[in-house]
Structure formats: C-alpha cells, structure tokens
Amino acid sequence: MWSARATAVLVELLLRRGTDRDLADAEAVIERLAGVSAELGLVVHELWLVWMRALLARARDDEPTYRDLRERYRRMASELGFEGHTAMAETL
C-alpha cells in the first residue's frame, strides 16, 4: 500500500534535481508502479500515478498533458473524497 507514496517521494526528488537522466528515471519508476498497480487494481495507486505523471509532464514543459492530468487528478481526488489528495490537487 505504501509503495505508491514511496514512489511519489522518489519521483518528486528526481524531478527537483531535474536532469534529463532524472526525468527518464522518474518516468521509469512511474511505469514500474503502473505495472504493479494494474495487477493489484488499487484505485489509490492510480490516483498517485496520475499525480506523478502530471508532475513529470510539468517538468517536461508539456503543458497540454500537464493540464489534462492535473484536472483528472483533481476530479479523481474529489470523487473519491480523499481530502489529502484534494488539498494536494490545489497545489498543482
């Protein structure tokens, strides 16, 4: 259950450092979690994945993808009633 949050922390750190290699590593870590999430079917993992992908898109200056993922994350957090994620969505 904590693997999604731990992955999110790693992705945040990589994106803060922000080298090309860091962005590639962040994407690889996200995709690795996506594979596990698909097998487990955990909605909380999907929520974290959308958040991390939004951060990655922003780091790559991919504004259209960032906006789409940001709105998807906000919608998911709100629909699920996850107050912490809803608050995080406001910071995106």
CB 7 within 8 A of CB 51: no
> How much is the pTM?
0.88
Q: What is the pLDDT of residue 37?
A: 66
Q: How far apart are CA 42 and CA 40, in angstroms?
A: 6
Domain count within the chain: 1
Q: Residue 56 sits in which domain range?
A: 3-91
pLDDT digits (tens, 9 = 90+) for 13-50: 999 999 999 999 999 999 999 988 666 667 888 999 99
